[in-house]
Amino acid sequence: MDFDQAIAAHAAWKQKLAKYIKQRDGSLNAAELSLDNKCPLGQWIYGEGSKHASQPVYAKLKSEHARFHKAVGELVRRADAGQSIEGEITIGSKSEFMMASAAVVGAIVSLKNLATQGKADSAAAAAN
């Protein structure tokens, strides 16, 4: 998975949650959703993405991704209990879910920029 695919995987997850909230069918388990290493992005973070562990933004990505999953688990618990949470997943919302989601994407972009800069620096050094 590359950085753009990581962002796409995160976006797909948000769409899955939005769909679930509209038609609560019991297919999502709040306890499992609270785990940050089960989704494709989490598997990348703890697997292939760990090659970036020396970068401080990698630690931020891990913590924000865990924060995101805790927020997701809480939203599903509340939705399953019959609470209205649609406003918390809409663009522009200042909910924990949306803030954590934006932080995840921001950390992925920052990590991508660092990795891209590192490749450019290595290419320049090799050319000299």
pLDDT digits (tens, 9 = 90+) for 97-118: 999 999 999 999 999 999 888 6
What secondary structure does DSSP assign to 26-83, as a single string?
S-S-HHHHT-TTSSHHHHHHHTGGGGGTTSHHHHHHHHHHHHHHHHHHHHHHHHHTT-
| pLDDT, tens digit, 9 for 90 and up, residues 75-87 | 999 999 998 888 8
Tell me the domains of the chain and their CATH numbers. Answer: 3-127 (1.20.120.30)
pTM: 0.85
CA distance 58 to 107: 7
| Confidence tier at 119 by pLDDT (50, 70, 90) | low
pLDDT of residue 75: 92
Nearest one of 11, 7, 40 to 113, comparing CA atoms: 7
| Confidence tier at 126 by pLDDT (50, 70, 90) | very low
What is the phi-psi region of residue 43: left when phi exceeds 0, alpha when psi lies from -120 to 50, beta otherwise?
alpha
Q: Is the pLDDT of residue 18 over 90?
A: no
Average pLDDT over residues 88-104: 88
Tell me how crowded residue 40 is: count the other CB atoms within 10 A of its CB.
Answer: 15
> Mean pLDDT score of the chain, rounded to an integer?
87
